[in-house]
Structure 1
Amino acid sequence: MAELVLSALLPVLFEKLTSAAVKSIARYRGVDAEIKKWQRSLTQIQAVLIDASQKEITSAPVKRWLNDLQHLAYDIDDVLDGWVTEAMQRESTHESEGVTSKVRKLITPTCCTNFSRSTTTMLAELDRISNKLQDLVKEKADLGLRVEEAQSRPGNNNRRFQTSVVDPSSIVGRQAEKEALLQQLLLPADEPCDQNYSIVPIVGMGGVGKTTLARLLYHEKQVKDHFELKAWVCVSDEFDSFRISKEIFEAMAKVNENLTNMNLLQEALGDHLRGKKFLLVLDDVWTESYADWETLVRPFYTCSPGSRIIVTTRKEHLLKQLVYNPLNMQLLSLPDDDALSLVARHALGVNNFDLHMSLKPYAEVIVQKCGGLRLALIALGRLLRTKNNEIDHWEKVSSSEIWRLKDEGGILPALRLIYQDLSATLKQLFAYCSLFPKDFLFDKEELVLLWMAEGFLNQPTPNDSTEEKRLGHEFFDELLSRSFFQRAPNIKSLFVMHDLMNDLATSVATEFYLRLDNVSEKRIRMEMLEKYRHMSFVREDYVAYKKFEAFERAKSLRTFVVTHVGDVEVRQSFYFSNKILIDLLPQLPLLRVLCLSDFQISEVPESIGTLGHLRYLNLSRTRITYLPEIVCNLFNLQTLILFGCVELANLPNTFLKLKNLRHLDIRDTPLLFQMLLGIGNLKNLQITISKIVCILVNLDRSLIGGLRF
């Protein structure tokens, strides 16, 4: 699915190629003819993208051609962005010297102090790009790619849902399973035995509805009245006994304790459970280790008889080692009739096809191909809801070539089909989420700011951050409505991706996005690292320098994001050597997004000044006491997050140089508010202070004084 970036990125390239700054610099450097050739070549390529996107499904050469083109588009964008950034830097220099004219004077030889040293390198890069472009133009003809009308491709337009969607928590065909499991939960305590709790398993393949059924039981009124304590923990791939124990304790005790010792934590949990009947849901358990399980349940011996642990899992090995009642252990796929009803609800807003008999044959084919999996049926139902009940769309979905793809890596063809229906921009935004690990809880506002920083939401009007953010929220809501995202079960303000959706994002991201975790480290090829453009790092308690050797090889990297698994509200800082940053940052000159949140660092290295393309800088919950003046040379910086920097005491004296800054988050950074009095000239800057969001336009002292924490 390599076309995902190209259709969205090419319009941005055309806009930059025709901008006044790029034209002026190209003329001065004598390469304006080369830039015009780029425009012509890209126009020829853009005309065949629709045909290429359809053929890449079954043609490996076309997919390779699209990947090569995407890499080259990134390279062109980096070159042009570097020129525009250089122009801004020179304009700032001239303004500080009292020069008012812009484009004309910013390109004069007198201000090109570093130009002579980079001319040879720059010309060599332009030649490489031009030659590669010509090769790709020739190859498109060899591949038989044709020009097609944009409207002929389903999903090419950005659509908004016009009708309400059935509540995703609604259950079809699971009433019997629910009632049987409910009875199991509410049974009186068994005869005295060696443990006071029992296991209630829900087992089934991914997407069949295990978590949804568990959630339905968890919120059932009878269950709430029956158990004194409840907790829900998403376990996922890594069975971290300490993390799970901590989340159980904090959920049941309603506290946020900073316990770092496993023994003290389990003693506290055992004391809290003493004599009480609890319900615990362990969602998405993958471990097959009985030793892991024994470690986790040690404190549970103090609980009251009749306590229950619901375990949802795809694997049965661990369960076979435990004592449990096998009732309803295996959650099967939905029967055809129930599956048809589920499609009807989400596609048509009705319970069956009685009033839509012409669509029923196609729905039956879809149900058969989905294998009765709830997630796939809902997602396809929502896709078809946008088709206005037109038979030809139902026929196209039921007979798509994508159904013939092998289900590699557990990615259902049904999910690839709903992904293929997305517009190019939505594909790009969804693929970006492959940087997040499974069960990662993310915030809508933060994700939109990341999309903006990456340039995914670029608008024709420069610096129109309000319109970009509005579009970002619309795109997010559409992905949510199509089941690509789900609301987090316990924190309604946060969101999560289903495991299968996370697998889908990883699958379509291919060689442009890499999530560096313990699994990916073992499978990535070192020679591929130089191609990656976006990388995330799943944090650990202690980080050795060797862990970041992969990033040093990724010279074209645009994104360095630190992620984590678990609740964002309980995440803790982790140790990180300042030397790693000092050595690493100069190796990554094309970075646009840098997230160092929760790093135990005490200062921002001066080497950050080499990141001229940077748009997003997150230093939240670090131990920094000041920002170096060099930060104010990051002229492209749009978002600066200083949330929870409790030791930060100073802003740079030249903070006003950050004219493109649009979002400043200083929540829980108490010493900083008094230093904001002089930033009124940063027009349209949005500042987040605690829970107050203020739009500052020509801000004066009286307005600052009127704000309260």
Structure 2
Amino acid sequence: MEVISLIKSVMGCMKTLADLIEKNIERRDSLAVGLISMKNYLQILIDIEGRFKRKQLQLAPGMQLQLQELAFDIDDFIQALWVPGPCRSFFLAAVGLDSRPRLIQLIDDFKDRIKSLIEELPKSFEPMPPPTGGTSTLASPPSSTRAPISYAREVDLVGIQGPKMEIKELLSPHVEPHRGTLSVISIVGCSGSGKTALARTLYEDDAVTKDFDYKAWVVASDHIHAGFLNKILEEVIPTSLLGRISQALQRFLNMILQVVRLSPARWSTSEAVQHFRKDKRYLVFVDDMERVTPWKDISNAFRGNVMDSRIILSTIVPSVARARSCGRPGSYMYTMKGLDKENSRRLFRTKFWQDDGYSAEDEVDLQDNDVDIITKKCDGLPMALISTAKYLRQKGPDPTIKDFKQVSQELRDCLACRETSSSEDFSAFAEMRKALVEPYENLKHGEKECLLYVSIFSHGHQTATNSLVRRLIAEGLLPRDDDVAKDQQLIVGDVRECLRKLMDHSMIEPVPIRNYTNVAKRCRVHSIMLEFTIKIAVSRNFMSLIHEDKALHSRTGKVRRLTVQSSSLVRGTTRPEGMDLSVLRSLAIFKSRILDFEECKLVRVLDLEGCTGLTKEVLDNICGLLLLRFLSLRNSDTKELPENVKELQCLETLDTRGTLVEKLPVEVIMLPRIAYLFGKFELTNVDNKNRDKVAKFLSEKRSQLHTLGGISVHETPCLEIVVDVVHHATKLKKVKVWYKEAPSSTVPATCIPEPIPGDRNLVHTGLESTLKKRSIDPDPCMDLDSVSVDFNCVPNTFLDFLKTGGTISAIKLCQGFGTLPKTAELKQVSNLKKLHLFSTGRKSDELSQLQHLHCLQYLKLAEDVDGLWNHVFHVKAGGFESLIWLCFEASKLPPIMIDEGAMTLVGSLQLLSPALRGVSGIRHMSNLREVILHRYATDDTVKGWKKFVEGHINRPYVERQQA
């Protein structure tokens, strides 16, 4: 976070600790006085910075780094003293039992450092750079001095034909009933992805524009709101030769009028609308579209047009593209994809030899293996390939493999370096720097830190968005007001909004890209953006990186955040030279050996996903990291958690999914900060004493538990603990439970089990009744958002739960037997947004009754019993009125019939079965954007479905599901 914000945050912790010492610790007056004195000196630093900031001056980078390190050192000192817990006691193991003299000496040392910085601070300011204008949220003002834009010829472009043909097919006149409506085709992608080049080739191709009477090209960011519609009218030209001659004469007359000082007529918005002829077909290109473009005026201008006019817009902002294209029949959103390997090589070679005065005979063959050293880094981004080709060309016409490797390694410096007195010529990357640096500089503090934080992930790594949110919360990167206590849900909302903005700036990419919704389960950073963020993050000592045999860290030597990728440089007690890990706060290890955690006592965030070598000794050491907030062991070789995991009093997130961990001490449920538990484990130590402790803990409303994401229950005591948590944990929002074993007398999956008499039935229905009570509790604090239960053939009537008018918005149910509620009861459900039903033993015609859930947005139906889905899944007019995502998964899908007026909002249809059949009435799904087939669908099946949807108004794309 911004250094001043960081200092303020540390000051808040200092005040809290000082108040605690004065209140609870005898004979510690000198410590409290010392801390308050430090806080006052820090306030002087803040006041000086504020005074110079008002004079449009900013701290020099060197001073920012010094202040940042000071704040981190003080924060580490405080955290090592005080581990918040039930007793709010001091943790003095690092400094000895009688540590007052040593602590006072450390405080005096900090005060001396602060005094020294106070003296240096007034000499450490420099002028603020002028605003960059940027493209992040506001449009750049029009400039009369802006140089005319030159556009590449189509013959000079690579990989453009496929996207061009895809969009060209969308420009044909529509058939009834959509004929006469304005359609919008959005081309969206990050800077340098080729959006404008694609649009321009369409604009300049007479074969594309011949079916239109008029066409126009406008750059949205060049024009202010008031003159935008007029500018479109000025740029409109006829597509026929005769029309162009006539317009040329009209422009000649306008020039004469200007010479005699009689300006051509200008129109108001209402007058300009009248100049779009109702009986003519227009093709308008709007390049560089941003949020402030007067879209309402444009829509009104074409309201009376009945000739299937089209608008093709390009933008880096996905939300703008969705707002303009999604939900409008006949419209389309095309997301730019990176060039494949062959086209990347071709573009690189073309630009390496372009305009250098050499003949074909002079050209040296650039070997594929050498070229791929660079193309892998560029990740198919055309602008990056062009820039690196030009930069490599500066080193001579006959590059060696050493040159290729050097350019690949220098890429970060080329992207992040500003124009300085450096002897290196980075001019080839001027356009790339403009595309990356300006949007980055326009980000707010907090947004910048979140973007830099994703530098910990390796090239191409996809991370779960929810997991990233929890990590960012544990890191405490977003600016916060320490005087305002924020609810956990509000903090989560702030972090999600930050990530949403970064995705909307195309700085973080959703994976997979979904054109019909802004929901992203996973995300990644494009390789070029990653190179840029790594350089910035390392230079600011925000993070350090060890990749294979190379270490990147700041000159301070103190490593606060570290990511280790495919490296053996850090293992056991081995460290790269010059790296001090004693102050390490965050560690992520990917495909590498585990290090010794003995000296890393200040670690807050530890991600060991996919790691091996997690022995009992290593795990014991991890459980000794008393400040640990986030611990991910996901997909690692962890077999068992040690008992002392219950000592992690600061732990907020524990993730053991994909491991062999089957046991969890019940004491973990009572950790004071635990909010997110993921895995599939039984609770141990469930004796009468601990049950009483859990009951007391929950009754005092001390639980912070938000997600209970994986309890496996079998015996009565464990189930009763879960029921107690569901009933009393007021902050609980998500529950996931597995019944470990089916009863000894299991029943066929197609049958509804008979109730079991006696206490056993009470136990099994206890969870159901508790969940139902929780969902209808009138207290807003008791709202439950998500429930997932795998009954494993344990008798239940959980399908009956669908008729409750509760607060639950998501239900995932496996083998939840019973009958579906009646139509009238389903219509009364008002909150359910997401429903996944797995192996419920219901026939397909029964499941089609779910279409009466008017608020449902996501529905997945899966069945593993053959013969149940032979009946028609029939959706009638008005059915599934809110649904946007529908998935069927089975060995054989049911016949699907969709009536006109049904499922009008569905954007994604997923048909996950090796044996596919067509969907009757698919044309009625007017908002359909994609059809996803089973990952093992044959090429012929994919081609057949692409042919099948050609007649659909939106031309939805067809692809296999991702692994």
**TM-score, with normalisation over the residues of structure 2?**
0.41
Q: Match for residue 8 of structure 1?
A: 5
Q: Match for residue 284 of structure 2?
A: none
Q: Match for residue 265 of structure 1?
A: none
Superposed displacement of residue 698, structure 1: 5.3
Superposed displacement of residue 468, structure 1: 0.8
Distance 1:48 1:314 in 2: 52
Distance 2:100 2:428 in 1: 47
Answering whether residue 458 of structure 2 is matched by residue 423 of structure 1, we say no
Residue pair 2:452, 2:533 contacting (<8 A) in 1 also: yes
Answering whether residue 86 of structure 2 is matched by residue 89 of structure 1, we say yes
Distance 2:66 2:381 in 1: 45
Residue pair 1:161, 1:478 contacting (<8 A) in 2 also: no
Answering whether residue 681 of structure 2 is matched by residue 684 of structure 1, we say no
Secondary structure in 1 aligned to 2:563?
strand
Residue pair 2:664, 2:681 contacting (<8 A) in 1 also: no
Decide whether aligned partners of structure 1 residues 462 and 54 sit closer, same or farther in structure 2, where only a CA change above 3 A counts. closer
Secondary structure in 1 aligned to 2:664?
coil
Structure 2 counterparts to residues 21-60 of structure 1, below 5 A: 22-26=18-22, 28=25, 29-30=28-29, 31-49=31-49
Decide whether aligned partners of structure 1 residues 283 and 660 sit closer, same or farther in structure 2, where only a CA change above 3 A counts. farther
Question: Structure 1 stretches of 5 or more lacking a match?
Answer: 92-105, 164-171, 187-205, 218-280, 286-308, 323-328, 336-400, 566-570
Distance 2:18 2:345 in 1: 56
Secondary structure in 2 aligned to 1:487?
strand
Decide whether aligned partners of structure 1 residues 179 and 436 sit closer, same or farther in structure 2, where only a CA change above 3 A counts. closer
Q: Match for residue 396 of structure 1?
A: none
Decide whether aligned partners of structure 1 residues 84 and 577 sit closer, same or farther in structure 2, where only a CA change above 3 A counts. closer
Task: Please tell me whether Structure 1 or Structure 2 has the larger radius of gyration of its CA atoms.
Answer: 2
Answering whether residue 93 of structure 2 is matched by residue 128 of structure 1, we say no
Decide whether aligned partners of structure 1 residues 154 and 593 sit closer, same or farther in structure 2, where only a CA change above 3 A counts. farther
Distance 2:447 2:420 in 1: 24
Structure 2 counterparts to residues 591-610 of structure 1, below 5 A: 591-606=628-643, 608=645
Distance 1:518 1:330 in 2: 23
Residue pair 1:666, 1:688 contacting (<8 A) in 2 also: yes
Residue pair 2:609, 2:632 contacting (<8 A) in 1 also: no
Decide whether aligned partners of structure 1 residues 496 and 33 sit closer, same or farther in structure 2, where only a CA change above 3 A counts. same
Distance 2:370 2:200 in 1: 27
Q: Match for residue 444 of structure 1?
A: 465
- Total equivalences in the alignment: 484
Q: Match for residue 490 of structure 2?
A: 467
Q: Match for residue 182 of structure 1?
A: 161
Q: Match for residue 299 of structure 1?
A: none
Superposed displacement of residue 70, structure 1: 0.9
Answering whether residue 561 of structure 2 is matched by residue 534 of structure 1, we say yes
Query: Which of 605, 613, 618 is the aligned partner of 1:576?
Result: 613
Q: Match for residue 506 of structure 2?
A: 483
Residue pair 1:597, 1:618 contacting (<8 A) in 2 also: yes
Deviation readout 1:253-311 (Å, 9 max, x if unpaired): xxxxxxxxxxxxxxxxxxxxxxxxxxxx99676xxxxxxxxxxxxxxxxxxxxxxx655
Indicate the larger mover: 309-318 or 433-442: 309-318
Superposed displacement of residue 122, structure 1: 3.2
Superposed displacement of residue 34, structure 1: 1.9
Amino acid at match of 2:193: G
Distance 1:413 1:55 in 2: 28
Structure 2 counterparts to residues 237-256 of structure 1, below 5 A: none
Structure 2 counterparts to residues 647-666 of structure 1, below 5 A: 648=682, 650=684, 653=690, 656=697, 659=702, 661-664=704-707, 666=709
Distance 2:552 2:475 in 1: 24
Secondary structure in 2 aligned to 1:89?
coil
Secondary structure in 2 aligned to 1:85?
coil
Structure 2 counterparts to residues 85-484 of structure 1, below 5 A: 85-86=83-84, 88-90=85-87, 116-143=97-124, 161=137, 181-182=160-161, 208-209=192-193, 311=344, 317-319=366-368, 404=420, 407=426, 412-414=432-434, 415-457=436-478, 458-459=480-481, 460-462=483-485, 464-484=487-507
Superposed displacement of residue 615, structure 1: 3.6
Amino acid at match of 2:70: L
Q: Match for residue 255 of structure 1?
A: none
Distance 1:636 1:623 in 2: 25
Distance 2:458 2:53 in 1: 27
Q: Match for residue 522 of structure 1?
A: 550
Query: Which of 468, 493, 506 is the aligned partner of 2:521?
Result: 493
Decide whether aligned partners of structure 1 residues 25 and 629 sit closer, same or farther in structure 2, where only a CA change above 3 A counts. farther
Amino acid at match of 1:682: A
Distance 1:590 1:409 in 2: 46
Q: Match for residue 676 of structure 2?
A: 640
Superposed displacement of residue 57, structure 1: 12
Superposed displacement of residue 601, structure 1: 0.7
Q: Match for residue 503 of structure 1?
A: 531
Distance 2:580 2:496 in 1: 34
Q: Match for residue 256 of structure 1?
A: none
Amino acid at match of 1:666: G
Tell which has more relative contact order, 1 or 2 (C-alpha 8 A, sep 6+): 1
Distance 2:535 2:57 in 1: 13
Q: Match for residue 287 of structure 2?
A: none
Decide whether aligned partners of structure 1 residues 403 and 132 sit closer, same or farther in structure 2, where only a CA change above 3 A counts. same
Q: Match for residue 190 of structure 1?
A: none
Residue pair 2:132, 2:438 contacting (<8 A) in 1 also: no
Residue pair 2:682, 2:712 contacting (<8 A) in 1 also: yes
Decide whether aligned partners of structure 1 residues 465 and 332 sit closer, same or farther in structure 2, where only a CA change above 3 A counts. closer
Distance 2:384 2:14 in 1: 53
Q: Match for residue 899 of structure 2?
A: none
Residue pair 2:160, 2:198 contacting (<8 A) in 1 also: no
Superposed displacement of residue 600, structure 1: 0.7
Residue pair 2:159, 2:339 contacting (<8 A) in 1 also: no
Amino acid at match of 2:103: M
Question: Structure 2 stretches of 5 or more lacking a match?
Answer: 140-150, 166-189, 202-336, 350-365, 372-379, 387-416, 515-519, 593-607, 739-770, 790-797, 802-810, 814-963
Residue pair 2:662, 2:681 contacting (<8 A) in 1 also: yes
Structure 2 counterparts to residues 46-85 of structure 1, below 5 A: 46-49=46-49, 62-81=60-79, 85=83
Superposed displacement of residue 555, structure 1: 2.0
Decide whether aligned partners of structure 1 residues 9 and 574 sit closer, same or farther in structure 2, where only a CA change above 3 A counts. closer
Superposed displacement of residue 516, structure 1: 4.4
Distance 1:176 1:54 in 2: 53
Distance 1:81 1:525 in 2: 24
Higher helix share: 1
Distance 1:536 1:408 in 2: 31
Superposed displacement of residue 178, structure 1: 6.8
Residue pair 2:57, 2:125 contacting (<8 A) in 1 also: no
Deviation readout 1:529-550 (Å, 9 max, x if unpaired): 6x2222233368x999448757
Distance 1:641 1:456 in 2: 22
Amino acid at match of 1:139: E
Deviation readout 1:219-251 (Å, 9 max, x if unpaired): xxxxxxxxxxxxxxxxxxxxxxxxxxxxxxxxx
Residue pair 1:208, 1:332 contacting (<8 A) in 2 also: yes
Superposed displacement of residue 42, structure 1: 1.8
Deviation readout 1:674-709 (Å, 9 max, x if unpaired): 7521224433133253999x9994599xx9986763
Superposed displacement of residue 660, structure 1: 6.0
Instruction: Please give the root-mean-square deviation of Cα atoms over the aligned residues, in Å.
Output: 5.7
Deviation readout 1:192-215 (Å, 9 max, x if unpaired): xxxxxxxxxxxxxx9642799999
Distance 2:537 2:544 in 1: 10
